[in-house]
Amino acid sequence: MLVHLSVHNYAIVEHLDLELDRGMSVITGETGAGKSIMLDALGLTLGDRADNGVVRPGADKADILATFDLVDIPEASAWLAERDLENDGPCILRRVITSEGRSRGYINGTPCPLGDLKALGELLIDIHSQHEHQSLLKTDTHRRLLDEYAGATDLARQVQLAAQRWRQTRQELERLSNSGDEQRARHQLLSYQLEELENLGLGDNELEDLEQEHKNLTNAETLLGICRQVVEQCSESDSGNVLNALTASLNRLSSVNSSIGALGEASSLLTSAQIQVEEAVGELNRFLDNFDADPSRLQYLEERLDAIYTLARKHRIQPTEVAQMQQKLLDEIETLNANDESIERLSEELSSYARHYQEKARELSDLRHQASGSLASAVEQEIQRLGMPGGRFTIELRPNSSNELLPNGLEQVELLVSANPGQPLKALAKVASGGELSRISLAIQVITAQTSRVPTLVFDEVDVGIGGPTAEIVGQLLRRLGERGQVLTVTHLPQVAAQGHQHLFVHKVRGEDATRTAVSKLSKNHRVEEVARMLGGIDLTKESLAHARKMVVAAKA
């Protein structure tokens, strides 16, 4: 509930700190004193729009804080926890508006968008005025009120989650199914390409070996000629060859004194050279003996390489990547096969989610139908007591025509009312009179207060246009509502003011240079005087004071 409201430099309020209690708090004051300013300021902490005109003249900013005790509001505590905004103590909503029109919102000291203030505020306070009924004009609220009255809030959440799971599964299934034809064509192409690669049967390092052999064969004559020339120059030429020259050189050196170190070293090197040349000649001769220059082998190599190069071009890859391409195709085919399995699995899940949804939604629908009659009857009795004799109220449950599994269940819930005898039932949103709508709202809140998730209700002049016995009934209803939670009401009727558990008096304080608004919590005697003023005007008489005291005492009985 709202436990504290602090307002600084807002409109004609210079400074206001107000402690609030459970029960019904009435707010009264002379016309123009600013009774609604407190509620307007409170609305800003709940995300209402504002402009720079709300800043008190001469101030650079307006600063408003609303403090809430969340002990009895688990939904709000959960909302804060989900966003890491929880606080060990009470929850503090703050709104700062500068004279330039800039606005900032805070939740427990953390900057936040106004949308967050509004979302959290809807869990904390429901504000009703003659001109703005923020929740009862929404069919979402109609459904929520009925579900709360029926004790079906948790079940409604289960239905919502079941519909969400079903919708997400269907979207994924449609995505895979819509690509089915394309995937089947892709699978066929990949299988054909894989068969080509398997038929090719390219081995490890085969391409490199083939290219080298092909290069050798295409240069066969040149290669053989060079090899023969080298062999001849090294060992076979009659006019002189390397081995003969080395042998002759070694013979000459051996004929001289071998004790000379340099000559011995030279002789060793020549001997080594002779051995290496002989080995080189041997290698060349073996190459010449084993070299196969068969034209059919060359043709085979060219056909084999052409097949490899053709597949590489087809897949737009380098020839060296052809071997790895086979594994890549296998992986993609496995993925496509997995998609087929996913479609089958998702189809089964979709059917399962649909059965679960239908089961929970039918259970919820039964509870709604059971509760709608008793809730409508109770509200109808209250609106007739509230100066709407012959008024009718019903709750319409319209089956959804859509084949979709909707998160709100099997039916649409809407509150219908007829304010006067003979008039047809209409949607609340189409009720023309703000006063009638406020009283209908009051009647609904009184009936559903025990199950409503909003602990603090604000009524801004809901008694406009009524008086006499009806005004007293309105006061009694508000007091009953306050006994179950917290009610703040701005009123100009003494019958309503007398019913309050606390009485806040709004008045103007005129200084030399400016006028400001102040709020006082009235004592018992001052409260009687204020009710007497509301009954009879500025001049208080014994009769008006006695009447006022009687009204205040009677309210407590």
- Spatial distance between the Cα atoms of 47 and 125, rounded to a whole number of angstroms: 12
What's the rounded mean pLDDT across residues 380-405? Answer: 89
Q: What's 391's DSSP letter?
A: -
Residue by residue, DSSP assigns 479-494 as HHHHTTSEEEEE---H
Q: What's 125's DSSP letter?
A: E
pLDDT per residue over 300-353, tens digit each? 888 888 888 888 888 788 887 877 787 787 777 776 665 666 778 888 889 999
Q: Is residue 265 over pLDDT 90?
A: no
Point out the least confidently predicted range of 1-10, 62-71, 295-304.
Answer: 295-304
CB neighbour class for 413 (10 Å; exposed up to 12, middle 13-18, buried from 19): buried
Any idea what the Cα angle at residue 52 is, between residues 47 and 55, rounded to 5°? 90
pLDDT per residue over 499-550, tens digit each? 999 999 998 888 777 777 888 999 999 999 999 999 887 778 888 899 999 9
**Does pTM top 0.85 for this prediction?**
no
Closest CA to 30 of 464, 471, 540, 533: 533
CATH architecture of 1-130+461-521: 3-Layer(aba) Sandwich (3.40)
Element (H, E) at 426: strand 426-427
Q: Write down the domain spans for the chain.
A: 1-130+461-521, 182-336
- Spatial distance between the Cα atoms of 192 and 190, rounded to a whole number of angstroms: 5
Phi, psi torsion values for 278, nearest 5 degrees: -60, -40
